Amino acid sequence: MKIGVIGGGQLGRMLALAGTPLGMNFAFLDPAPDACAAALGEHLRADYGDQDHLRQLADEVDLVTFEFESVPAETVAFLSQFVPVFPSAEALRIARDRLFEKSMFKELGIPTPAFADILSQADLEAAVASIGLPAVLKTRTLGYDGKGQKVLRSAADVAGTFAELGSVPCLLEGFVPFTGEVSLVAVRGRDGETAFYPLVHNTHEAGILRLSVASADHPLQALAEDYAGRVLDKLGYVGVLAFEFFEVDGGLKANEIAPRVHNSGHWTIEGAECSQFENHLRAVAGLPLGSTAKVGESAMINFIGSVPEVPAVLAVEDCHLHHYGKAFKAGRKVGHATLRCSDAATLEKRIAQVQALV
């Protein structure tokens, strides 16, 4: 079976690493000459709107999937005429726009911060008057790793930030005084079967994920699965979907969904019976899903900007290195380490050992 992937970054690369043993081959469409997934499959180097190359991809593969959600809607619609596409155009349409996403949470009875659609400075002033400060202004589309958003704390922020974000359609959200951030990686097969990984506790710095720790028997696991299940069923979703939540007042508030494999699920490569990458491929290919059970105590540490000296990383016991083969650049995700230990105390010690190298 040949899988077409829109995007050729590290997520595409890790999909290919998981799918190759299943007998799958890969083709990646990505305009970047140095797309790091290209080492593991065919690279169609073209823009996402290039219909000649999209048609070539559709002719060559059995199905198409995505490694990022900001794919132009026209690209998805065009491909869908010729080849099965998972997740669906509708799932991508909702997940790429924060207004559609939060409106869906509300419709499904999933708690989420207060929000308002902002198309002008006047909209922003009216929304601040009702939601209050602090609040977070985010571009509706194309934001990632903390880009395209700003916390508003004062009148000066309210006056300047909409223009600073480019005067594009935005969402204003109430600021959530969360006690923690957790994510749930979920998967739904073509036949509607669902499975969920254990909740992961995430730590960000400067808007970028640094550390994910998989939890054992988190008290909010069942609630998170209930919320994610509502979204999966509503969208008739096929593939892996990551759900990010704020932990607040002993409950959960939905922040966002990502219709793809997710950075907070990278630990599953060594830390779960079947990784998020393999399960995504199983789901889109119509194969039985694999077990999402943990096989130890696991955490993932991102390498941002550069990967530490390889021998030093490998010298840490219980540590698995994933080097994406990308050029080092400040703020860029270039690799990660998974730690898989027999107990939580050892895991804590190993996290400190890897963090000391970063």
**DSSP assignment, residue 9?**
S
Which span (55-63, 175-183, 214-222, 263-271) binds ligand AMP, by CB under 6 A? 175-183
**From 175, 218, 286, 321, residue interacting with ligand AMP (rule: CB under 6 A):** 175
Residue 256 interacts with ligand AMP (CB under 6 A): yes or no: yes
Residue 54 interacts with ligand AMP (CB under 6 A): yes or no: no
Give me the least distance between CB of 315 and ligand AMP, in Å please.
32
Transcribe 287-353 into DSSP letters: PPPPP--B-SEEEEEEEESSPPPHHHHHTSTTEEEEE--PPP-TT-EEEEEEEEESSHHHHHHHHHH
Helix (H) or strand (E) holding 16: helix 10-19
Residue 263 interacts with ligand AMP (CB under 6 A): yes or no: no
**CB-wise, 174 or 239, nearer to ligand AMP?**
174
Pattern 204-223, ligand AMP, x by CB under 6 A: x--x----------------
Q: 253: Cβ–Cβ under 8 A, 6 or more apart, which residues?
A: 111, 112, 113, 176, 178, 245, 246
Pattern 129-168, ligand AMP, x by CB under 6 A: -------x------x--x--x-------------------
Query: CB atoms < 10 A from the CB of 155, how many?
Result: 11
Residue 265 interacts with ligand AMP (CB under 6 A): yes or no: no
Give me the least distance between CB of 263 and ligand AMP, in Å please.
11
For 4, phi and psi rounded to 5 degrees? -95, 135
Angle at 270 between CA 265 and CA 273, to 5 degrees: 85
Residue 113 interacts with ligand AMP (CB under 6 A): yes or no: yes
Give me the least distance between CB of 114 and ligand AMP, in Å please.
9
Residue 173 interacts with ligand AMP (CB under 6 A): yes or no: yes
Q: 244: Cβ–Cβ under 8 A, 6 or more apart, which residues?
A: 181, 182, 183, 202, 254, 255, 256, 257, 258, 264
Residues that bind ligand AMP (CB under 6 A): 113, 136, 143, 146, 149, 173, 175-176, 181, 204, 207, 244, 255-256
